Amino acid sequence: MNTHILVAYATKHGSTRQVAEAVAEALRAAGDDIDVLAAAEVRAVDAYDAVVLGGALYTGRWHRDAVGFLKRHRHALGAKPLAVFAMGPKSLEAADVASSRAQLDSALARFPDLAPVAVAIFGGVLDPAQHRFPFNHLPPSDARDWAAIRAWGDDVGARCSNAVDAAPV
């Protein structure tokens, strides 16, 4: 059975969308039926068997469109597999990843009725040309690990399929 999965993303400069598309590719490779949409554009999640939600972290907070998505759809999401990722650390150093994970955990704590089947932190992107002072004076960086992102997509696909198969009919 093909699992119908929504991959929703919240991004300001586009790098989270790129990661969402890479996760979607991994899910499609497993035979799942995938839609990729901006989180702010999603009106309902009822048609999906599972949902993956990604959002960028900015100055200690998860993107407002990701939080808004959880607020709008929290009841429907409580009845289906949900996986979550955040983009943010400028490096994959343990301290940077832990700090970003704490920021994401803080955002998710506002939704104690949701229990994601998978949660991940991926490295972020900083393109100084897309930012204002003082961020436009920082060196450019791209800490995304594409192999890890695709591997997480594979794992999420298996977890969502297993959860959907195990759900009572």
Cis geometry, peptide bond prior to residue 139 (ω within 30 degrees of 0): no
Q: Where are the domains of the chain?
A: 4-166
pLDDT surpassing 70 at residue 67? yes
What's the helix, strand, coil split of the chain in %, to 5? 45, 25, 35
Of 157, 15, 2, the residue nearest 87 (C-alpha): 15
pLDDT surpassing 70 at residue 141? no
User: To which H or E segment does residue 92 belong?
Assistant: none
CA distance 156 to 87: 17
pLDDT value, residue 14: 83
pLDDT surpassing 70 at residue 166? no
Residues 6+ apart with CB under 8 A from 90: 96, 123, 124, 126, 141, 143
Is the separation of the CB atoms in 89 and 143 below 8 Å?
A: yes
Of 105 and 89, more confident: 105
pLDDT band (50, 70, 90) for residue 156: very high
pLDDT value, residue 10: 96
Mean pLDDT confidence for 157-162: 82
Domain 4-166, second-level architecture: 3-Layer(aba) Sandwich (3.40)
- Entry pTM: 0.90
pLDDT surpassing 60 at residue 162? yes
